[in-house]
Amino acid sequence: MTSTRRFLRALRNFFTGRLFLTLLCATIAGFAAFYYLPTFYKNQEAVLVIPRVKLPLEVGELIEARHLELVEIGAYNLPSSAMTDRDEIVGSYARVAMLPGDFIFAGKLSSWQIDPELDIFLQSGMKLVTVTPKGAAQTVASYLSPGDIVSAGTIHDERQEGGGVTKVVYYPEELSHLLIFGVENNRGMPLASGEEEIALASGQGAYDDLIPKSITFVVDQIQAAMLIEAEYNGGFHLIFEERRAK
């Protein structure tokens, strides 16, 4: 029993003594010197070749290879969101303005130029044209919404044999099945916005806020010319045909 106590006391003295602490510190230092330090310096010395902005980019501008340059930088502490593959950048659009020397992050890129839906129209050769009706009757009162399909009747002055003038409505085939892209009220706000509904419910809105003051159509070149001509001449009248989701 006495020898066991002596052994335990000696063991305790060893683990709490300076010799053990010195050996422990030396072991940790040696492990760090031979494992962690080489790995640390290796990471610091590692380099990557990544793309960087060479020419200024405006918001919505298509990024081409000429806008980029490849530079060699240290990989240590490089943000994980930094783009390292030039092929993933070229063909994207700049979501924010970028200057020469800027590194490119995923949050600075967009897959569309302006708006995903609008890009589809523009890339297919279609255009947007806005007209300003003179009265609610021309625009089906307050019932038009983006995505609606309408036809437009154009109004022309026709001279009679007796010298009088009569207004005649024509329904050209080119102005049938027009797609409405947007409808705005007299304050330039979307006609069916939730803000307008709240304002009207609280008594702060006006009836004019529910009447279209401008309508934007998705059209081709011929349809655009006919709508503009109708607005500046005799006028036009819209006929509701179909409602689609925008």
In a domain, 31, yes or no: no
Q: Phi and psi (nearest 5°) for 30? A: -65, -40
Residues of the chain above pLDDT 90, percent? 9
Number of domains in the chain: 2
Amino acid in the structure at residue 121 = F
The pairing of beta strand 214-219 with beta strand 178-184: antiparallel
Q: Any bridge partners for residue 49, and if so which?
A: 72
Same domain, 100 and 179: no
Contact (Cβ atoms closer than 8 angstroms) between residue 185 and residue 217: no
69 and 102 part of one domain: yes
Cα torsion for 51, 52, 55, 59, to the nearest 10°?
Answer: 100
Q: Rounded to 5 degrees, what angle do the CA atoms 54, 55, 57 make?
A: 120
Separation of alpha carbons 179 and 182, rounded Å: 9
Residue 95 is part of which domain span? 47-110
pLDDT value, residue 206: 55
Do 185 and 230 sit in the same domain of this protein? yes
Using one digit for the tens of pLDDT, what is the confidence trace for 209-228? 667 788 889 899 999 999 98
Domain end marker among 110, 134, 156: 110
Check whether residue 136 and residue 87 sit in a common domain: no
User: Which tokens is 69 given?
Assistant: 């340059």
Task: Please tell me the pTM assigned to this model.
Answer: 0.53
207 and 152 in a common domain:
yes
Please calculate the CA angle 16-17-18 and round it to the nearest 5 degrees.
130
Q: pLDDT, tens digit, for every residue of 115-174?
A: 666 777 777 778 888 888 887 777 777 788 888 899 998 887 777 777 677 778 888 899
Quick one: 92 and 144 in the same domain? Answer: no
Q: Does position 92 have pLDDT exceeding 70, yes or no?
A: yes
Regarding whether 61 and 160 lie in a shared domain, the answer is no
Cα dihedral sign for 150, 154, 155, 160?
negative
Q: Which 8-state DSSP code applies to residue 187? A: T
